[in-house]
Amino acid sequence: MTKAEKIAAIREFNNRIREEQTKGSTGAKGKWVDFMARDYLMAKGVGSVDDVRCRSAEKTDFRLFYDGRYHDGEVKTGAGSWKFGKADWTEDDIFPTIDIFVVAAETEFLTEENFMDQLWVCTRDQYIAMLTYTGKNGIGSSLHFDEKHGLMKIQPYVTKVVDKKYNKVRFAYARLNKFYDFVEQNDLPTIREFRDRVRG
């Protein structure tokens, strides 16, 4: 993929994301983050027009070589979802083949200038622990299986609460605060720190 082809593909991708956002899509920013993280982490960046687009559910988001072997990775943001096949799931069913995760609880403030310091990297065990820690009643409060659509959904980190008594809307940030507590307590590296570490 030449530099000109990549620029054209990225321009087309960004225009599509803007159109989706204008139409009220809640997943558009997650697609943008998915691409930015892959392009930032992969040694040569994305290498084809297909790589610029958001990866299909059947494909791993990215693969990195470090510590003498390949590691498969996933990008997970906010309150996203992924194809999932069973209602009676356990922690063992959550991305069993993935080694590392790039995670963010908030995406609306991310830009091309700051995303590398606002995304964090963790292992699969840490990702499961984070979902367990941030859920009011453990991982079952962080994930919800939508049987009708065959999707596993990550519950929002910020929830809207309607106060009927005073006819007001307020927002609950307890889960979001616990996410940042987990990042700090486990000293998770930013995507910038992680890239510097694995590239030496």
Residue 1 lies in a domain: no
pLDDT of residue 49: 47
Residue 138 lies in a domain: yes
Q: Are 35 and 13 in contact (CB under 8 A)?
A: yes
Closest CA to 119 of 192, 57, 50: 192
Residue 146 lies in a domain: yes
- pLDDT category of residue 58 using cuts at 50, 70 and 90: low
Residue 69 lies in a domain: yes
Q: 55: how many CB neighbours lie within 10 A of its CB?
A: 17
For 181, the domain range is 59-199
Residue 110 lies in a domain: yes
Q: 28: how many CB neighbours lie within 10 A of its CB?
A: 19
pLDDT of residue 158: 86
Q: How many domains does the chain have?
A: 1
Phi-psi region of 58 (alpha: psi -120 to 50; beta: other; left: phi over 0): alpha
Per-residue pLDDT at 48 exceeds 80: no
pLDDT, mean of residues 33-48: 76
pLDDT, mean of residues 106-114: 87
pTM for this one?
0.82
pLDDT of residue 34: 87
pLDDT digits over 161-196, tens only? 777 777 777 778 889 999 999 999 999 999 999 999
pLDDT digits over 88-104, tens only? 999 999 999 999 999 99
pLDDT of residue 104: 92
Q: What sign results for the dihedral spanned by CA atoms 191, 102, 181, 25?
A: positive
